[in-house]
Structure 1
Amino acid sequence: MSAPAATHPGRRARRRPRSTGRLVMVTVLALLAALLAVLAGLEALRLRELRAGRAAGEEALAAARAYAPDMLSYDYRTIDADLGRARGYATGGLAEHYRELAGKLAPTVRRQQTVQQAVVAAAAVESAAADRVQVLLFMNMGTTKVLPGEKQPQKQVVQNRARFVLVRSEGRWLVSELSTLIGNAPNG
């Protein structure tokens, strides 16, 4: 019986390295599978955020195109209503800024009989997240006004750029920041 006992421990010794190697391989594969599952989950979340940003960008771009003419146009005969309408598209500090403009800008606009008409020529999303979108607008601005000492109104057409930052508020997009970047048409 001593012969079978001698061969038996040798077989166990041979099986241990195989079973240990298999255990290591199974453990490594399980860890890799878990890592891949985590990475796939993170990518799915990122894809969802990208899709939400894209949808938000499309919505906010449409809103910016619709709001810009009202926010950047005014007529001396209706300046108070024009600024009130513009304030309706704004939120936070920008809404307050439009309230202040009524007191500061309106007297000059009435005195010079200024009419400013903004038309969106082009627009694009600069950056977008689900609840905040930055839009760049290219505007054609026509202005007519009577300067002091002049009898005839002066007309001017310029091309401007405006940047709107829109935020989602109570289910709709509102402009929280507005900056204009004055530019001239290139000489042809």
Structure 2
Amino acid sequence: MKKLLLTLVLLTSFAGNATLINLDLDKTNYLENEVVTAQLNLTSLDYFLGGFVAEVSYDFNALELINWSFGNGFNDGLGHSPYADDSIAGLFYLEDFAYFDADEMVLQANQGTGFTLATLTFRALTAGPQILSVLDSMEVVSLDNNSIDQFNQFDAKFNVTSVPEPASALLFLSSLLLLRTRFSKK
């Protein structure tokens, strides 16, 4: 009997929809000094959210945080409570909460079954493989504050390629022209 109950509990826990969170990049390959855009997205929502807290880590020697914006999932038209802190190099803290008296119908319409929590933009400073990580402390809370979901760390990986310097390209082209003129005289 215990095995049957345990099996039923496991089956029902796997059958439910789980909220999924992703850090989606606009591309997977970038050039040096190109802008990298990442969106923190929620999908498969089975309840409406009242807020979230997240920390994003990155290599500050290879990426420069240049801008961020919050989605409208917690804004009922009368405002919301976004907060961000980038005072620690390589670590970006962000949170956003709906006001306690927010219009639930508007929030439900804004959130649907998924929405963008935040958009982050970085400048790629150096070539090589890069990783943006949302750390273990990521939490979302339900609108009625009855449910809190925590997420394990997840990463978004991409590659940055170096751009050849104009002087190198000019030197290469001039040597090709010199070879061409030399062989064309013979």
More strand by share: 2
Larger radius of gyration: 1
More helix by share: 1
Instruction: Please give the range of the TM-score, normalised by the shorter of the 2 chains.
Output: under 0.3
Using CA pairs under 8 Å that are at least 6 residues apart, name the structure with larger relative contact order, 1 or 2.
2
TM-score of the aligned structures, taking structure 2 as reference length = 0.22
